[in-house]
Chains A and B, each alone.
Chain A
């Protein structure tokens, strides 16, 4: 048993690293993209810029395209990009690149829809308070949408956990890789079981933390 646990430590660390890094990158880039998508779709934010509609259409197409790629194919397609960014196309660090690329459009949509759900009356009120558009977005809309944004982030992390299990394909580590190499290729059902349990435990942990933060925010309101 302790041998199996020994086996588990490194892949667990790798999985956590992949999820944490790609979530961070996706939060920054996907969050920014989501805010942009929301602003472009709202007359009150982008109404008078003639390029807004075109830009929004292009962004929509690109996001839909990225989201419709099966992850395993996306992973192979971005190999050259990984090499360019992190210097290698193989391994755990390299697999952060496709994970981030999968998560950015996903999170962008979540941010866009969370912001759209904020009552338009609240935007009216913020406008009538003579606030600039940037202030309305960052000081009102994002705090108003925070519970929904956190739920969306939780969802993103859980999806990423699923994707990260495929990292083994490009020589990345992690729990999924452990399960395949030991459980499938070496007929070690016990290792596979432990790896799967670890993944389930991680999902539970992420969901629990996300729900807890969301309900805390809501309870304080």
Chain B
């Protein structure tokens, strides 16, 4: 079911783009990531609208008063929050739902890149059983070379004056772009627990993706970088991005109450 509905169409789209782009897998990953971002744009916009609405609500006087009034009674606080959601016509699920719908797409994209690269006999045999008839077998095996990288191997850059030290350039880019994406796109929240969670995600997510980029095929690292940069560009296009946030370090994720 997963293979038929998500993975196979993605693998074959990726291979088709690879064929169209003259057998450049790095470019195919970037274009494919951009197309996926385009297809899921309505969901992303809905999620952003929902986040903005939530943010406005959390900055309101009614919300702040409620936090103070019921700070020692969490159950009552939750009831009052739900009441406020109903009053302003806000559905808290409207923020998570687009994310949940996007998750299978993200995992599918990841799986498609891994399978298409097929650097071992088992992987290549697996790939053979997922390729549609219209994909020419002459493109197999994929050319995994992109710039100086082998996209099927973890990336390291060796400079002529440092021949024994491999610099993980893509890993560094993954960590930085994930950090920037989190920093720019995570809105401030009035909820202390949410703020703490945001901080942990902002710190650990770049490290986790950086670890993947350092240890797994560099095709994935390229996907992480492309995805992060495209997400930032997409967000910037909505006019809401505040690049000053990049220079602020420390407790920035808790919204100050509006006076």
Q: Do A and B bind each other?
A: no
Chain B contacts to A: CB under 8 angstroms: none
Chain A contacts to B: CB under 8 angstroms: none
